[in-house]
A and B are shown apart, each in its own frame.
Chain A
Amino acid sequence: MLVVARKVGQSILIGDAIEVTLSAIRGDQVRLAIKAPRSVTILRKETVEQVEQGNAAAVASVTELTEWLGEGNRQDAY
């Protein structure tokens, strides 16, 4: 892993199409400005982790859900 020290206003370049600028620091939070082609997906890691957990939960509940949809809810649904 590469670790680079930057001051506010300084940037790093990733490849020849992505520029990440440190735009501000407030307490323990930094603001990053990212310039990248529209084809590059930029996501917050914790959001992706939430989606991963959501997928795992969906797989884990499939058996129960099948029973629930198949029987449990049928009376209520009519």
Chain B
Amino acid sequence: MKIDTPCLGVIQVPEEAIIRFPHGLYGFEGAHAYCLIPYPFSLGNKEREAKQAPAPWGSPTFYWLQAVDLPKIAMIVTDPFPFFPAYEVEICDSAAELLQAASAAEIAIYTTITVAREQGCLYANLLGPLAVNHRARLGMQLVQDATRYTTRHQIEDRLPSSVEKDSPRC
């Protein structure tokens, strides 16, 4: 299906790449369908891919999260664990049920990213991670303990060794 995006233009996404967020995201409750696109993306747009240098970190660490019907709702998300190895996400029973997850291993965690360009810093939102069951194509945003996490945890300016090119990722 075709999806309109603010930065990539109209892109073609397979139907099975669509993830449903039955409750939406906090503040964006109206958007229930998103697609997760590896960044730099690979969606068969050869012209664009040719212009794009290969990702320095091998397998994609960053992804676009794009609302299917609302082009303006797009975020960049990442797998937080390479950056924050001690990060712990609590998934309550009702969330696991909504995600139709038989075990925690089925749930992938992503955190949204913001940038402070002046400081040259990226920040991850560890307070409100996104939990996705890719098998069931279901997602939801979780709210974590505010005494432990905030919406702005600085990502190291360098890339961690665990996401260096060709290294295995777990």
Interface of A with B (CB < 8 Å)? 38-41, 43-44, 46-48, 50-66, 68-70, 72, 74, 76-78
| Contact A51-B56, Cβ < 8 Å, known A63-B6, A65-B115 | no
- Determine if B159 and A55 form an interchain contact, defined as CB atoms under 8 angstroms apart: no
Verify B128–A54 contact, CB threshold 8 A.
yes
Query: What is the CA–CA distance of A48 and B57 in the complex, to the nearest angstrom?
Result: 33
Q: How far is the CA of A59 from the CA of B112 in the complex (A)?
A: 9
Known contacts being A43-B143, A61-B114, A77-B56, is A52 close to B27, with CB within 8 Å? Answer: yes
Q: Residues of B contacting A40 with CB < 8 Å? A: 94
Q: A38-B92, A66-B7, A69-B39 are in contact. Are A58 and B141 (CB under 8 A)?
A: no
Interface secondary structure of B, over-half rule = loop
B97 within 8 A of A: yes
- Total B residues in contact with A, Cβ cutoff 8 Å: 42
Query: Are A74 and B6 interface neighbours, CB within 8 A?
Result: no
Interfacial residues, chain B to chain A (CB-CB below 8 A): 6-7, 25-28, 39-40, 52-53, 56-57, 62, 72-77, 92-94, 97, 112-115, 117, 120, 122, 125, 127-128, 141, 143, 146, 150-152, 157-159
The smallest beta-carbon distance between A11 and chain B, in angstroms, is 23
Counted as pairs of residues, one from A and one from B, with CB atoms less than 8 Å apart, the total is: 104
Shortest 3 CB-CB contacts between residues of A and residues of B: A54-B151, A51-B128, A52-B27
Checking B112, B120, B146 against A58 with a beta-carbon cut-off of 8 angstroms, the contacting residue is B112
For the complex formed, measure the closest distance between the CB of A58 and the CB atoms of chain B, giving whole angstroms: 4
For the complex with contacts A48-B26, A56-B27, A77-B57, 10 further pairs of A-B residues with Cβ separation under 8 Å are A39-B97, A40-B94, A51-B143, A54-B114, A54-B125, A54-B152, A57-B114, A60-B114, A64-B117, A77-B56
Instruction: Closest A residue to B53 by CB, please name it.
Output: A74
Q: Across the interface, which residues of B come within 8 angstroms of A76, CB to CB?
A: 157-158
Measured between beta carbons, the chain B residues less than 8 angstroms from A64 are 115, 117
Return A37 CB to nearest CB of chain B, in Å.
Answer: 9
18 contacts between A and B (CB under 8 A): A40-B94, A41-B92, A51-B143, A52-B27, A54-B127, A54-B151, A55-B75, A57-B114, A58-B114, A58-B125, A63-B7, A64-B115, A65-B76, A68-B117, A70-B52, A74-B56, A77-B57, A78-B56
